Structure 1
Amino acid sequence: MTDTTTQVEQQQANRTQLIARLRKTDAPADGVISKRSGDQPAPLSYSQERLWIMSQLEPDNPIYNVAGAVQFDGLLNTQALQHSLDEVVRRHEILRSRFTSEGQQVEPGGGLPLTRLNLAGFNQDSAMAQFQHCADAFIRRPFLLAEQPPLRALLAVLGERRHILLLTLHHIVSDRWSVGVLMQEVAALYGAYSQGKPSALPELPIQYGDYCVWQRGQQEKWAKHLDYWRQKLTGASPLLALPTDRPRPPTPSYRGDMHYFELSAELSRALKQLGKQYKVTLFMVMAAAFNALLYRYTGSKDICIGYPVAGRSQSQTAALIGYFVNTLVLRCQVEAELPFSELLLQLRGQALQDQDHQGLSFGQLLEALNPVRNTSHAPLFQVMLAVQNVPMADFRMQDVSAVPLTMNNRVAQFDLSLFVDERDGKLLGSFEYSTDLFDAGTIARMAGHLQILLAGAVGNPELLVSQLPLLPEAETRQLLDDWSGVGRAARALASTAHFTEDALLIQQAPKARAARPTDGLLIHRLFEQQAQLTPDKTALVFAGQRISYGELNSRAALWAERLLDLGIGPECRVGVCAERSVELIVGLLAVLKAGAAYVPLDPSYPEDRLDFMLSDAGIELLLTQSALVDKFKHRAIEMLCLDNDSAKGQAKRTLSRSLSPDNTAYIIYTSGSTGQPKGVAVSHGNLLHSTLARTNYYREPLGCFLLLSSFAFDSSVAGIFWTLSQGGCLCLPQQEDLTDPAVLAELIKQHRVTHLLALPSFYTAIINDGNLPKLNTLQEVIVAGEACSGDIAAEHHRKLPEVRFYNEYGPTEGTVWSSVYRSTTDDTGVTLPIGRAIDKVRTYILDRQRQPVPIGVSGELCIGGAGLAQGYLNQSALTAEKFMPNPFAANGERLYKTGDLARFRADGEIEFLGRIDNQVKIRGYRIELGEIEERLHQHPAIKDAVVLVTEEVSGNKRLVAYLVGRQSAVMPEASVLQAYLKQTLPDYMVPSSYVALDALPLMPNGKRDRLALLNIKQPAAQARAFKPASNWIEADLADIWREVLGLEAIGVDADFFEQGGHSLAAIQVKSRIQCVFNMDVPAKMLFESPTIELQAAEIARLQIQQHDDRSLDELIKELEQLSDEEVSHFLVGK
């Protein structure tokens, strides 16, 4: 760790140099700004030019309207106020200017109309409510910059002694400093006019237009600034992936809201003192804290935020109203192990260097860097920080007092902006946020987290970024106790009282269980009890066979006796390899009755995989079927055939009861990252807990369960032992019927199935319209094994509204299931939540430092409490890595790190976000592949989809979608699918290639085999061939593009911005389109349709739209009279 004291001393040694640098902004610039001559329009400043372009793109959007309001208490002289406003407009030319592509034209002074709003007849509360309603509309009304003044004024009369003055300006003529100047001048003028005195304000020596002329003459100095910014921002991530409440829309609405908060006087003083201690400004302190907060929220180590600088480097500009403010980009490298003090010093250095290069406007920077444009977010940064130092107006006069009001215009320029002001010795904060992305509660929590982090930083600046406190006590308690499942432990114990005292003992903490072996209740004993209670009741149906509980128990007992005779007992491992059959169920029960652990081996597995599992598990005996014996003849292993009827009659002895809940019950093999499967060992106690928890949660009596899962996977455990311990009937489809929804529906009808568990993607096939009449016996449907989309839940509720629908989550390492969510018709999310922890299970969502993340922030889902597997067979290092001590429990409990990304919603439900290793980055964007897959699933022609990242020889990464079409649908072309996805996803999430398949390759557990997909030959990303114009509209557009972009030739499918286009060039194209085609196209169209081909189609559509019905009919009649040759000539040759 760097010694911070030494760093401070080094910085102090350079104190003189630092002071000179800080004062540099007050030094006179090269030359003095001179007053321009003539009446020609002044050019736009570079910052104005960018805003003017934005106003052309979004003419109806109030995003750049700036408001200021003052409440007057006392006898207000409205005539003096009107005179004051008129004088301000006279003094500042920019307030009476019109703005066009030619520049800003000053209009003769004619005063400022003052709109009156009389609310004197309302009581105080109603009057304020009415004012707020009217003010919202007043502020949000767009400015027509080419036709109207850029300033509006409204005076609300709330009573004889109470008024509110509301001023709204377009940002093109104002910034926050300018609002302060305006209010100061109004205050000074009012003070004079209300007493019958003339104005004491000196005439302005220069105007904003003079500044614009001066600025345009400084171009030769910008090269060094551009080099600095280009180097600084190279390789920066284009998007900060904030955790949002809703997916990012392809085009933002710019609707927003504000959240206000206040730092205590004590904390405010401490922050200023911290700044003095480290010789940094308040802005630098807040920037360090904000970056630390953003790191903790996103995990991003490379963070770019925007921040404004006054842009008034010449003293002549201090008294001017105008758009001087410039935006700089602060790029920060944040590490978890970085002390806050070092982060503070890093940001000081960055900010001081930025100040040296603030002469380049943000608009110029964008034009020069020309970053890849994406309509879903702002370029370069999406988060803003402004520590404001705005001059305040003093309205203290004899008969009137004035208080500034905070106005919320309910827009958001960026995803998130933090504003900090100082008033009366306290720091006041406010978050402006996009309501497209965030809920109010999310931002309120963020404000609380920031305040706690600030308090931690001033308390101990040497704390690492990862150690800075973040969560209030109440939220910590909510995350670690209430929502983790800990608080339900006692209730869970009480709810199991009907399973006998021994059963409760089995569910105690590991240390308590290990204290003494018990002859208490285990899962096979629950089955035995049921067989004693209902020996004649059907336990199992398969291929026309019906097996009663009594018969099933007897057969299993006979086989168990035979296993015991062979020396099989606790901790012995018995392989079971059989096709779906009655014998298979008998074999599993027999192994458990003998006290051994069963290892299921799917006969469809490749020989190498089976050999590895037999060897790795150390299987001492294999139970199989006669038809499968040849699979294992090459191995020296003892085999018994379950379909051999030699085991008949009744067991001759009582089976041993010396079995501990900690003994292994089964070993399930799951896919391993090394290419070899890994065995997960699960104890008898965990198996019992999982089953009892299921019985406690699902209250509907289990009549008949349809078992679809392979016996080699733990989802089969749920169906087999839940059903047989509750007296239900286990319906076992034959192997060849498992993928036939029609046959399965018939089984549901025939056996009156009440419960089923399926993969979500397969469940949709079962509930097709043709099957619905056969599904009326269903009572509870469970989906698990993969993320379940909201669309699947909605389809279920629409088709089977009386059937309860559940989404389960749980890794094999957590014994089948760890959380569950009951879906309702209110579920509207893209993906269904995975709910809350089941009985006696604990769920935590942690960051890389194993600390709980805030509500709504993503982290790794970790599982503790009951149900954790014993570990991985023969892999002690992997077991130690994945099963760690639980830092939130004191009894030696463990936590399993699932590798799954999740977050807590505000209501306490867990939202599954995908695998941590399934998150990818392409061109700097962090992408969740599951979100793209879900959008593809929603296309009516697509049945299934997987999206993967492939890397070309050049090192470029691209997205490839693998698709399976619906039976009667035609697979759309790639261009159609891209257009479909762009309706809801940003461009960087749209795959470039699409591979149509008859079916997706599956792993043995039914999940998609992504590795196999990568081996499928993909369409190569080919260089784009030149595509010439195919009609006269495209040809004319190509001429316009060539002229604006200075190109010799351009294909109709080339992207405007990839060819060097920028915002100003787009406006020039718009102007030429208006001349050539005699029509006004929306400027936004040039960004949303960035190729000649797309723009030509849009122009053709608009041309047809502009015809009335009569002229269109005449055109059609004229075309009908043309020959084919004439039509072709008309379309191609104009």
Structure 2
Amino acid sequence: MNKKEIDKIYPLSSMQEGMLFHSLLDNNGTYFEQITIRLTGDFHVEQFEKSVQYIVDRYDIFRTIFIHQKVQKPRQVVLKQLAINVHHEDIRHLSVELAQQHIRRYAWEERKRGFSLSKDVLMRFAVFRTREDQYEIVWSYHHILMDGWCTSIVLGELFDVYRCFEQGLPVQLEKAMPYSQYIQWLKHWDKDEAQLYWNAYLSGYEQTATLPSRRPSAAGAAYENAELLLSLDKSSTEAFFELAKTFQVTSNCLFQALWGVLLQRYNLTDDVVFGAVVSGRPSKIAGIEKMVGLFINTVPVRVKANSSSSLASIARQLQEDSLLSERHAYLSLAEIQAGSPLQGNLLKTIVTYQNFGAASFDGTTSIGKDLPFVVQDVETFEQSNYDFNLMIVPNQELIFKFMFNKAVYDAPFMHRILSHFRNLLLQVADNPSIALWELNVTGASEISEQLEQLTQTRTAYGKERTLAELFEEQVRRNAGKTALVFKGRELSYGELNALANRAAHRLRERGVRANTIVGVLSDRSPEMIVSLLAVLKAGGAYLPIDPEYPEERIRYMLTDSGAAWLISRRHLADRVKQDISLITIEEAVADDGSLDTNPEPVNGSEDVACVIYTSGSTGKPKGTLTKHANISRVVKATNYIELTEEDKLLQLSNYAFDGSTFDIYGALLNGATLVLLEQEALLDMRKLTRVIREQGITVFFITTALFNVLTDVDP
């Protein structure tokens, strides 16, 4: 690079300096951003490449590299010209599944490749043609260039330029404001006053607020992105927005208050600090909302309140604090932390309120007007250098994204964090004036589990092994014995194991790993049992869904649980209307002798085996996590019942309820026979008593009320 190639050189913003430091320090893909866009229609790669180049020419920030060697302070260098090439591949010859695997592999390789901030073009595009009229765009860039606010601006203009090129029209866009104007404004901003403000704000705070559980081997491990979602329906969302108005605060401050209360409980203190991401766009700069670059910053939020305080009072205090903090939000986090005795340990959790729309375009929006294609879907990937981030997305249905580093926090633990936050939401929705001391973080099911652990007997029940391992032990002992009976059809332990193994291997091939939540949608049938065992053998946790549930409840359960996959009976697959990776059990058990062997175990008895949903106090179902050890303790070597290979157990309970675990595993973990009951027999007491007699049922779990009805019908 020589001087003739350089347009301008100027300093970095505080946030850019922080990102440069972490990128050089970690070298692990931190601050790598990736957006995948799916298109359907008439699309021309050549015109798209011209459009991308137009946008690069239009914005200085996209022609910028960052120099940090042989200079006193890092500088950003804007080049006069920067050619950008769009990688494109035609993969129409691949099946849908293989095409998706190919694109995911490419996206992963891009993340692994990362960016050299001083040498690379810090933005890359790839286009994949998957079908005659279907395309996927993978857009990768370093976060040091711009923040999430900018993505909708850039994509909107990119598609607008494409339309103009396609139709032979002149491009008519307002003149772009260079990012250097913002850097120039920062030079005249009073940094000393900001430092004094943050020093005073954090005065007396000396305890880091953390989440209560970390993996012991987390230090130095590679970052593993994971995400769980909690969503509220439209009516609940509207209720919380109204509540914020009643409190006379923003909804952002309301949810920050709730997170602060949860951190107080975890850390046994009235005083906690967490990070909040702010827009960082000074209103004094005209047209700042259309400028492209990096403006966001992370600043501390302090929640200091005793147990008699109300959520309203905390939220109002946060509102007052945020108005003061806004004037001083341009000081880098590193400089803010320097004034605290905790230094780099000041923040361990980050909360982001996404007050800009996620980039989404279609052929009818004003941005996408007259486009010859439709944007079907937009997915984003980003990696922070914090191990926990809570993102709040205020759409018509509020979404809370729990984004975390799996190398530090495991999924079952994070499910519990999500459950605790949801418990707070439910209680505040029921009673907005509730005092902090009245809030219960743990739900009834978790309290019950804790009591059970306190009253555990000393009976040896194989607590170190998973349900899959305990079942496989019975297969070795009783391969030829009948394991399952349904409508005259019988499966031996060996046959049942082989079918479950085939499905488990196919789930593994599709990415199911330890603690992956997999929805199961099945009616009463052997395929239902095969599906449950397959998920367990693959290492996942199954989420049983009754096909009779309303569509809205099914959607809620899949979203709320963060289910990654759904395994379904073929004739029930159309009951699911949302976008989720699906495999039918009929496809999964297709004959392939090479897949009949037991998969290698990938989890332990303390991992989650299943997620059971029950009705919540406000009508919303509530998910309960059940570990392998919890179930095996109930059915193996118990001190209240003796189950043997001679027993026949009747599966009376709906598999979507926790009572079913006794029926299913009481049989299959003890070498007994499980008899599945037809739906018709469950609704007819005379048929039920006949099944019990004809099948020689020796054990079944039944409520007292139903037992009394049975004895009345057949004494």
TM over 0.5: yes
Q: Which amino acid aligns with 1:407?
A: T
Q: Which amino acid aligns with 2:433?
A: E
Between 1:246-255 and 1:268-277, the stretch displaced more is 246-255
Q: Tell me what 1:77 maps to.
A: 44
Asked if the contact 1:172–1:323 (Cα under 8 Å) also holds between the matched residues in 2, the reply is: yes
Q: Tell me what 2:504 maps to.
A: none
Deviation, 1:386, is: 0.5
SS at match of 1:234: coil
Q: 1:923-962 to 2 correspondence within 5 Å? A: none
1:48 to 16, 21, 36: 16
1:257 aligns with 2:234: no
SS at match of 1:408: strand
Q: Tell me what 1:223 maps to.
A: 192
2:435 to 464, 468, 474: 464
Q: Deviations over 1:466-499 (max 9, x none)?
A: 433444554444344x5454xx8xxxxxxxxxxx
SS at match of 1:345: helix
Q: Matched residues in 2 for 1:336 and 1:279: separation? A: 22
Q: Tell me what 1:385 maps to.
A: 351
1:168 to 140, 153, 168: 140
Q: Tell me what 1:93 maps to.
A: 60
Change beyond 3 A, Cα 1:698–1:443: closer
Deviation, 1:143, is: 0.8
Q: Matched residues in 2 for 1:41 and 1:340: separation? A: 48
Q: Matched residues in 1 for 2:409 and 2:97: separation? A: 29
Q: 1:577-616 to 2 correspondence within 5 Å? A: none
Q: Tell me what 1:331 maps to.
A: 302
Deviation, 1:208, is: 0.9
Q: Which amino acid aligns with 2:403?
A: E
Change beyond 3 A, Cα 1:380–1:433: same
Change beyond 3 A, Cα 1:263–1:119: farther
Q: Which amino acid aligns with 1:278?
A: F
Change beyond 3 A, Cα 1:179–1:379: farther
Q: Which amino acid aligns with 1:80?
A: Q
SS at match of 1:283: helix
Deviation, 1:827, is: 13
| Larger Rg belongs to | 1
Change beyond 3 A, Cα 1:460–1:76: same
1:145 aligns with 2:126: no
Asked if the contact 1:257–1:408 (Cα under 8 Å) also holds between the matched residues in 2, the reply is: no
Q: Tell me what 1:116 maps to.
A: 88
Q: Which amino acid aligns with 2:126?
A: L
Q: Tell me what 1:210 maps to.
A: 181
Q: Tell me what 2:375 maps to.
A: 402
Q: Deviations over 1:145-180 (max 9, x none)?
A: 111111111212221222121211111111111222
Q: Matched residues in 2 for 1:293 and 1:118: separation? A: 50
Q: Tell me what 1:292 maps to.
A: 261
Q: Tell me what 1:273 maps to.
A: 242
SS at match of 2:380: coil
1:433 to 398, 401, 404: 404
Asked if the contact 1:42–1:210 (Cα under 8 Å) also holds between the matched residues in 2, the reply is: no
Q: Which amino acid aligns with 1:190?
A: Y
Q: Matched residues in 1 for 2:321 and 2:378: separation? A: 34
Deviation, 1:257, is: 1.8
Q: Matched residues in 1 for 2:125 and 2:295: separation? A: 22
2:422 to 433, 451, 457: 451
SS at match of 2:121: coil
Q: Matched residues in 1 for 2:333 and 2:402: separation? A: 22
Asked if the contact 1:258–1:408 (Cα under 8 Å) also holds between the matched residues in 2, the reply is: no
Q: Deviations over 1:928-952 (max 9, x none)?
A: xxxxxxxxxxxxxxxxxxxxxxxxx
1:369 to 336, 339, 352: 339
SS at match of 2:404: strand
Deviation, 1:63, is: 0.9
Change beyond 3 A, Cα 1:245–1:215: closer
RMSD after superposition: 3.1
Deviation, 1:346, is: 2.4
Q: Tell me what 2:573 maps to.
A: none
Asked if the contact 2:15–2:294 (Cα under 8 Å) also holds between the matched residues in 1, the reply is: yes
Q: Tell me what 2:79 maps to.
A: 107
Q: Tell me what 2:131 maps to.
A: 159
Deviation, 1:144, is: 0.7
Q: Matched residues in 2 for 1:252 and 1:337: separation? A: 41
Q: Which amino acid aligns with 2:131?
A: G
Asked if the contact 1:418–1:429 (Cα under 8 Å) also holds between the matched residues in 2, the reply is: yes
Q: Deviations over 1:680-719 (max 9, x none)?
A: xxxxxxxxxxxxx76x6699xxxxxxxxxxxxxxxxxxxx
Asked if the contact 2:225–2:403 (Cα under 8 Å) also holds between the matched residues in 1, the reply is: yes
Q: Deviations over 1:986-1028 (max 9, x none)?
A: xxxxxxxxxxxxxxxxxxxxxxxxxxxxxxxxxxxxxxxxxxx
Q: Matched residues in 1 for 2:602 and 2:163: separation? A: 60
Deviation, 1:271, is: 1.0
Q: Tell me what 2:656 maps to.
A: none
1:247 aligns with 2:216: yes
Asked if the contact 2:67–2:76 (Cα under 8 Å) also holds between the matched residues in 1, the reply is: yes
SS at match of 1:407: strand
Q: Matched residues in 1 for 2:158 and 2:206: separation? A: 45
1:304 to 266, 270, 273: 273
Change beyond 3 A, Cα 1:184–1:458: same
Deviation, 1:262, is: 2.0
Q: 1:430-829 to 2 correspondence within 5 Å? A: 430-472=401-443, 474-480=445-451, 482-485=452-455
Change beyond 3 A, Cα 1:456–1:193: farther
Q: Tell me what 1:189 maps to.
A: 161
Asked if the contact 1:85–1:111 (Cα under 8 Å) also holds between the matched residues in 2, the reply is: no
Deviation, 1:236, is: 2.0
Change beyond 3 A, Cα 1:42–1:257: same
Q: Which amino acid aligns with 1:369?
A: G
Q: Tell me what 2:318 maps to.
A: 347
Q: Matched residues in 1 for 2:215 and 2:31: separation? A: 24
Instruction: Give structure 2 stretches of 5+ with no counterpart.
Output: 1-5, 364-369, 463-600, 607-623, 627-660, 662-715
